[in-house]
Structure 1
Amino acid sequence: MGERIISLILIIRRLPIFRIFQRTLGMLMPIAIIGSYFKLLRDAVFSPDSFIYNILNFDETMPDKIWYAGSFICNGFVRVTFGLFGLYAAYFAARYTARLYHKDSTLAGMTAVMVIMFCAYANNVGNKLGNKSMFSSSVLQINALLLALLIGYAVGEIFHWLGKNRQPVEFEHVHRVRARAWNALLPASVSIIAGMILGIIIYELQIKILSSSTFKELVIQIQSSNNLLEIIPLAFVVMLLSWIGIGYPLTSLSTATALTSGVATVNLSYALKHGGSWNVQYKFLGSSLVYPYGAMGGASVVLALIVIILLSHQNKETENIAKANLLPVAFNSTWGFMIGMPIILNPVLFLPIVLIPVINIIIASIAIFLHIITPCVYPVLKGTPGILISFFGSNGNWSNLVFSICLFILDILMLIPISLLGKRIERKLKAYEYEKGQESA
């Protein structure tokens, strides 16, 4: 059975589309890591409702000029990294696809940029934001990464089928450049026409397909439900979407949105009135389970994987990626590691990404039922480390903190076999690539 799983994963890993996506994510790793650090600073330091800002009392100790400058810089770099991440992803996905088939990769990348920018424009107009810059479109954000990768890959494939072969040269005369541009005219034109059709579809159907309200409804349903038979499959869907590169639902799973539901307000009112949340009316509310325990702020599985890498010393490259992302992941800024590892669209990590949070939710539900821990009903500051969310969400209940630590250790133990499986697959992939290299030589 184990060998069959390995063989299946190897087949998937060798697919051209998978290789292209992995190369694209690898190239974008520095941008994602930079964005993760600025997101950490923005959410945990330079926000009045953030964790470090309040712990260190920056309202009194930090000069206003430093705060405004820090907030301006952090918001700006989060915008140009995560806010435009789809632009970079589409460009490199198209480039690597065209390069794989020896086509003009540079013009393929530029065509993909035009296509995704038109889609961003169509999305803004469809949301009645036509007067705002298309650079603010949700289509370009890192949370819509899958769409950008698919657009880039599709443009690259059009160049594959309609473009002429091109061999890179060290120096290109202007006549050669013109000939190259003419050769790319047909695939570029077809790609733009296909982009126009996609933009029209986005404009016409955005309410059902790309509108953020669709994901907000999903998140609100999770947060306000007190039914485990509903919470568990919805949490599975959220983690699945995160794994394929659609991060809007997981990003929205915060205590701020949780407190907008009526049932969460009932729980909070009871806790404030009685001095504790042991006997609140809605003990198994999604807001008390998914964010504090299932995802631990969105970083449970990611942080556990980093710990395994740092303890096992797998290889220098992977260890460096883990070290570079340890601090932001600890404060729930996970995109740098999810892209650098990569976790997104990685078949080896599919099951742990979608199942471990579900297992956490089930165990936490049992612990609440047995009165081992108390439901989390209190608001939590932005940027609070994942393991501490249940502690602050229960107004400082130590049993919740111990339980979260034990749950995190369990996550690590569940990930160890997956990590060993990943090592075996990487060894087989390297051997396969070496054999292919020997054959081509």
Structure 2
Amino acid sequence: MSLQPPLISISPTRELNELFSDIHPPLTPRQAELESARCLYCYDAPCVKACPSEIDIPSFINAIHHDNIEGAAQTIYSSNILGGTCARVCPTEILCEQSCVRNKEAECAPVLIGLLQRYATDHAQFEGHPFSREPDTGKRIAIVGAGPAGLSCAHRLSMKGHQVEIFEAHEKAGGLNEYGIARYKMTHDFAAKEVDFILGLGGITLHTGTALGRDVSLVDLQAEFDAVFLAIGLQGTRHLMLDNEDLDSVQNAVDYIRELRQASDLCELDVPKRAVVIGAGNTAIDIACQLKRLGSEDVTLVYRRGAESMSATGHEQAIAKAHEVQIKTWSKPERLLVDEAGMLMGMEFRSTTLDQGELIDLDTTYSIHCDAVFKAVGQTLVLPENETDLLSQVKSGKLVVNSEFQTAIPKVYAGGDCTAIGQDLTVEAVQQGKRAAEAIHSSLILADKA
């Protein structure tokens, strides 16, 4: 995959790798000691209520304060087996840290819960795996998708004594963690190490390069396994519905991020001199900032509504501004501008406004010169056409499940981004995988007693 010229020369590999080091440097032991001492260890801690995965935050911070790093990590992993990832990517500024009572103290600054969680999970040194499996139940569960929801579900089911097989379409497990998160948030091979850590429990077999509807069918999985959990995420990307959208220089942001994350040499990437990013979420911020780090001179993020409506948090927006990404709001994509040779020259936008709560177009338009356009306007559920039973379970673009994560298909459950439950956050996916595992386990146990 390549962009159309003009392209720019970028820095040597070593310099680029340094630009993609951790955006938030980890705490030193001294910093962790001082920060853990700031926690008030609240009895009815609001930070725990704000954590989607229900981590006992005061307990793990107290363990760090008493130099019990393994105990701290054990507390985190017992609620969130992907605690290392979530410490890096979770929007703590609008969850646990926003609820921290220290915000109401004189310093008006929360305990740095995310960084303390990362400190514990990065430094814990267990003798063997921190969890053990219960006696084998003889039950087998299939999980489709090795992203956060699937891995979380697999780990919890294996702990309960079930045999689990994961079927992953890509060549690597990890899902969004491996392919879709900004490289400066998840550095090196952390996602792969976390997968190995989860598989280290035992009782879990991973099949990569195995896609639903192509290599395995839902009907066969239902027949062979006692339960099936679908954690297939959102694989498609919404279109702008504009002429010339099929140009090579008009790309899906998630595709470029995937290519960037998998690149062994960042110097081999094609980098536009001037880029436009369409969108207002974390993916839009991630692609815009990474383009700047790669060497793009001008990157403009454009959104049809106001900044207050952007799904990217204020923290993420501040990161974009720190990277000198220009953010233009109240602008709707109108037209892709191409020259006589069919090369992208820029993009035209129409100004918008709100009228009695409804977004309307204005008469004014303007253009931005660019060499590439990256679409980050949301992802969609894509199901194989031959999986007719599964297609019947889609409503408003997501799989329909009940409170126990069951679909209307016998023995089939679903969780993560492919359902409409919760927010599209990694920590939410982990929690849903865990809760689905508990529901599957309870169902199987009840079936045995019946």
TM-score (norm 1): 0.24
Answer 1 or 2: which has greater strand percent. 2
TM-score (norm 2): 0.24
Answer 1 or 2: which has greater helix percent. 1
